[in-house]
C-alpha cells in the first residue's frame, strides 16, 4: 500500500483537555504564546502543512474553544468529545470527518503548539516512503518519564507502550512518542475502532493504533523531531518554557531578515511581528500582535507597540507607547513618554516628548510640542482631531476634539483649543499674563513675624 503525500488531508486537533494544572478560569488551549492562542498556533501549523480540512475536538460546554477555532479558520469543524475517555476516543469524536474519506489523517495536540508545519509534512512523507498505515512522531527524551515508549524492530515501529503499562526494561527506552501521528486515510477508521480499553488507565489509547495496524499486517513508522518542538504545555511553567522557545525562533527569524536586536533576550515579539531590514531594536521592547516596521527604523528601549505600522527610518522611544490603529509614515519621530492611539502621523511628524495623540490625523512635518494632549473623550463618545501639514503645536496645548487645525497654523504654548483654527493662523488660548510690580516683596514683608 502506498501513502500519497500530495492528496487530501484531514487534520484533527485534540483540544478537549481540562488543563487543571494551569489553575486557570480559561481553557488551557486558549492561553497565548507570542500573542495568540496555543490552539491557533496548532491550527496555523496544520493549515501550512497542507490540511484541506481541520476538525477540532473540544470538551463539553467549551463554546469559547469552539469560537476560537472558528475565528482562526471559519471553515473548521468542531466536534465535542462528551466524555474524556482517551486520545483514540477523542479522535473518534471526529468520526464523521474521517468517514468523508481523506487520503491521510493528521492528528495533533493543541497543547503541543510549537510543532512546525515542515515536521508535519515530513511525518506524512515518512509514512509514504515506508508505505505505512501509521507514522508516529517521536523524540529522544532527556527524561522519558511519562511518555509512551516506541518499541521498534529495525526500522519498524511495532507498538507504543504507555508508561503505566511498560515493563522496567521498556521504561529505559528513551525514544518516546510525541503523540502526533499521520494515518493512512483508507485504514484510519477501521484501526481506530479496533482500539479497546484493555490497559492500566482503562482508556482508549491512540497509541494502540500501531498494534492494531500490526495485527492486520500493516506497517507503522517513526519520524523524529527535536524535543523543544514537541514540548507539551500542562502548567504555567511549561507555558513559559514554550514561550521562550518560540521567542528564540521569532528573534532568530527577525535577525536573519536584517534586524539588529541589541539584546535579543529582552525583546518580546508577537507571532506576526514584521521587522524590515536595518531596523534596530534596543533592549526591553515589547511587540504585541499586528506590528509592521519598515526598513531603517530605530526603536529605543522600553517601548510598547501593538497594531501599528511604522514607516521607513522612523525613530520610536525610548518609553513610547504605540497603540492599535496607528500608522506612522516615514521619518516620523516619536519620543519619550508619548502615547499614540488610532492616529495617522504623516511623513516627518515629530512628537518628541510627553504627549497623548488619540483618534487624530497629523499632516506632514507638523511639530507636536511637549505635553500636547488631544482631548478625544468626553466620558461617553470619542472625537477626532485633525491637524494639517506643517503646523506647530505649542508646548502643553490641549486640543479639545472634535477640532481641526489648518495647515501651517501655530498654536501658542499652553493653549486650550476648542474651536477650529484656520490655516497659517496663530491661536493663543490661555489667560493673559498679569504682572504686579513689587507684589511678592510686599506679600513677604506683610507676613514677616
Residues forming the site for ligand UD1 (CB under 6 A): 14, 16-17, 57, 81, 84-87, 89-90, 109-111, 147-148, 160, 162, 176-179, 205-207, 232
Residue 406 binding: pick among ligand UD1, Mg ion, none (C-beta 5-8 Å cut-off by kind): none
Q: Which is nearer to ligand UD1, 178 or 327 (CB)?
A: 178
Total residues binding Mg ion (CB under 5 A): 1
Q: Which is nearer to Mg ion, 110 or 334 (CB)?
A: 110
- Residues 273, 287: contact at Cβ < 8 Å? yes
* Min CB(232)–Mg ion separation in Å: 5
* Min CB(18)–ligand UD1 separation in Å: 8
CA-CA-CA-CA dihedral for 130, 135, 139, 140, to nearest 10: -50
Work out the number of other CB atoms within 10 angstroms of the CB of residue 276: 18
Q: Which is nearer to Mg ion, 230 or 270 (CB)?
A: 230
* Min CB(88)–ligand UD1 separation in Å: 7
Q: Which is nearer to ligand UD1, 87 or 385 (CB)?
A: 87
Separation of alpha carbons 446 and 442, rounded Å: 6
Residue 110 binding: pick among ligand UD1, Mg ion, none (C-beta 5-8 Å cut-off by kind): ligand UD1
Residue nearest to Mg ion (CB): 232
Write the DSSP assignment of 80-137 as a string of letters. Answer: E-SS---HHHHHHTTHHHHHTT-SEEEEEETT-TT--HHHHHHHHHHHHHTT-SEEEE
Separation of alpha carbons 180 and 448, rounded Å: 86
Residue 339 binding: pick among ligand UD1, Mg ion, none (C-beta 5-8 Å cut-off by kind): none
30, 138, 163 from 115: Cα distances, Å: 16, 12, 23
* Min CB(383)–ligand UD1 separation in Å: 48
Q: Which is nearer to ligand UD1, 205 or 356 (CB)?
A: 205
Which residue in this structure is represented by grid cell 477501521? 190
Eight-class DSSP state of 307? S
* Min CB(182)–ligand UD1 separation in Å: 14
- Residues 9, 52: contact at Cβ < 8 Å? yes
Q: Which three cell numbers stand for residue 241?
A: 518554557
Eight-class DSSP state of 148? P
Q: Which CB contacts under 8 angstroms, 24+ apart, belong to 60-63?
A: 62/15, 62/16, 62/27
Q: Which is nearer to ligand UD1, 104 or 139 (CB)?
A: 139
Q: Which is nearer to ligand UD1, 13 or 246 (CB)?
A: 13
* Min CB(230)–Mg ion separation in Å: 11
Residue 177 binding: pick among Mg ion, ligand UD1, none (C-beta 5-8 Å cut-off by kind): ligand UD1
Eight-class DSSP state of 263? S
Going by their DSSP bridges, the two strands 403-405 and 426-427 should be labelled as unpaired
Residue 281 binding: pick among Mg ion, ligand UD1, none (C-beta 5-8 Å cut-off by kind): none
Give the closest residue to 12 by CA, choosing from 100, 83, 71, 85: 100
Residue 180 binding: pick among ligand UD1, Mg ion, none (C-beta 5-8 Å cut-off by kind): none
* Min CB(133)–ligand UD1 separation in Å: 17
- 163 by DSSP, 3-state: which? helix
Contacts of 421 (CB under 8 A, 6+ apart): 403, 404, 405, 406, 409, 411, 427
Q: Which is nearer to Mg ion, 231 or 342 (CB)?
A: 231
- For the annotated catalytic residues, the residue numbers are 353
Residues of this chain, 214-233, that bind Mg ion according to CB under 5 A: 232
* Min CB(250)–ligand UD1 separation in Å: 24
Give the closest residue to 363 by CA, choosing from 394, 386, 393: 386
Which residue in this structure is represented by grid cell 474521517? 98
Kindly list the residues in this chain that would bind Mg ion in the complex (CB under 5 A).
Answer: 232
Amino acid at each position: 500500500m502506498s501513502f500519497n503525500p500530495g492528496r487530501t488531508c484531514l487534520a484533527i486537533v485534540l483540544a478537549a483537555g481540562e488543563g487543571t494544572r494551569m489553575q486557570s478560569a480559561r481553557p488551557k488551549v486558549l492561553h497565548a504564546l507570542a500573542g495568540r492562542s496555543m490552539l491557533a498556533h496548532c491550527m496555523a501549523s496544520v493549515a501550512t502543512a497542507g490540511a484541506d480540512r481541520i476538525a477540532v475536538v473540544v470538551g463539553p460546554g467549551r463554546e469559547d474553544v469552539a469560537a476560537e477555532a472558528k475565528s482562526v479558520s471559519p471553515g473548521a469543524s468542531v466536534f465535542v468529545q462528551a466524555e474524556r475517555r482517551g486520545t483514540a476516543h477523542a479522535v473518534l469524536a471526529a468520526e464523521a470527518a474521517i468517514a468523508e474519506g481523506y487520503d491521510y489523517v493528521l492528528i495533533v495536540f493543541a497543547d503541543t503548539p510549537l510543532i512546525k508545519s515542515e515536521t508535519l509534512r515530513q511525518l506524512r512523507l515518512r509514512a509514504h516512503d515506508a508505505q505505512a498505515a501509521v507514522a508516529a512522531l517521536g523524540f529522544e527524551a532527556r527524561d522519558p518519564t511519562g511518555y509512551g515508549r516506541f518499541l521498534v524492530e529495525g526500522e519498524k515501529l511495532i507498538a507504543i507502550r504507555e508508561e503505566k503499562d511498560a515493563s522496567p526494561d521498556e521504561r529505559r527506552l528513551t525514544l518516546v512518542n510525541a503523540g502526533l501521528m499521520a494515518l493512512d486515510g483508507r485504514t484510519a477508521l477501521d484501526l481506530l475502532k479496533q482500539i479497546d480499553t484493555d490497559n492500566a488507565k482503562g482508556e482508549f489509547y491512540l497509541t494502540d493504533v500501531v498494534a492494531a495496524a500490526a495485527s492486520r499486517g500493516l506497517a507503522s513508522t517513526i519520524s523524529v523531531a527535536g524535543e523543544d518542538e514537541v514540548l507539551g504545555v500542562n502548567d504555567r511553567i511549561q507555558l513559559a518554557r514554550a514561550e521562550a522557545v518560540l521567542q528564540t525562533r521569532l528573534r532568530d527569524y527577525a535577525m536573519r531578515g536584517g534586524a539588529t536586536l541589541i539584546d535579543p533576550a529582552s525583546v518580546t515579539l508577537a507571532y506576526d511581528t514584521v521587522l524590515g531590514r536595518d531596523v534596530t531594536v534596543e533592549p526591553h521592547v515589547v511587540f504585541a500582535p499586528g506590528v509592521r516596521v519598515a526598513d531603517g527604523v530605530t526603536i529605543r528601549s522600553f517601548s510598547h507597540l501593538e497594531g501599528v505600522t511604522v514607516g521607513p527610518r522612523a525613530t520610536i522611544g525610548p518609553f513610547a507607547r504605540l497603540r492599535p490603529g496607528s500608522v506612522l509614515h516615514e521619518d516620523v519621530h516619536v519620543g519619550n513618554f508619548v502615547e499614540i492611539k488610532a492616529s495617522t502621523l504623516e511623513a516627518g511628524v515629530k512628537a518628541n516628548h510627553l504627549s497623548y495623540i488619540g483618534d487624530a490625523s497629523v499632516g506632514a512635518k507638523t511639530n507636536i510640542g511637549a505635553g500636547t494632549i488631544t482631548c478625544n473623550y468626553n466620558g461617553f463618545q470619542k472625537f477626532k482631531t485633525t491637524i494639517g501639514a506643517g503646523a506647530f503645536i505649542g508646548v502643553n496645548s490641549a486640543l479639545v476634539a472634535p477640532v481641526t487645525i489648518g495647515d501651517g497654523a501655530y498654536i501658542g504654548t499652553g493653549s486650550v483649543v476648542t474651536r477650529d483654527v484656520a490655516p497659517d493662523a496663530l491661536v493663543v488660548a490661555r489667560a493673559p499674563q498679569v504682572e504686579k510690580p513689587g507684589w511678592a516683596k510686599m506679600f513677604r514683608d506683610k507676613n514677616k513675624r
